[in-house]
């Protein structure tokens, strides 16, 4: 494991120390957890942004599912004749 130095603002350091004491964890553990969660959130945001761009491109190309088809599909849930999810162009 590598070592990285970080300069913390006094109020961040105080909060970190208080949290470490209350959770009976080291400051290092808390910092690692916070950074891990931050990195995961950033990756999720990047993925969601790419999915949004793809969806916008599909809409611009007219590749959409009609609202009526979606409603019909949803209304069929739980019935014996449950429909398959609608496809583009339906």
* Coil vs helix vs strand at 43: helix
Angstrom distance (rounded) from CA 5 to CA 59: 47
pLDDT at 1: 84
Sequence-distant contacts of 67-72: CB under 8 A, at least 24 apart: none
82 has pLDDT over 70? yes
pLDDT at 72: 94
pLDDT at 44: 98
Mind listing the pLDDT tens digit for each residue in 7-57? Answer: 999 999 999 999 999 999 999 999 999 999 999 999 999 999 999 999 999
């Amino acid at each position: 494991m590598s070592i990285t130095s970080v300069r913390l603002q006094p109020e961040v350091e105080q909060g970190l120390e208080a949290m470490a004491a209350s959770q009976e964890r080291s400051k290092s553990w808390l910092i690692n957890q916070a950074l891990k969660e931050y990195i995961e959130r950033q990756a999720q945001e990047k993925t969601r942004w790419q999915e949004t761009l793809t969806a916008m491109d599909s809409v611009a190309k007219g590749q959409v599912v009609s609202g009526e088809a979606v409603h019909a599909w949803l209304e069929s849930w739980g019935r014996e004749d449950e429909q398959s999810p609608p496809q583009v162009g339906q």
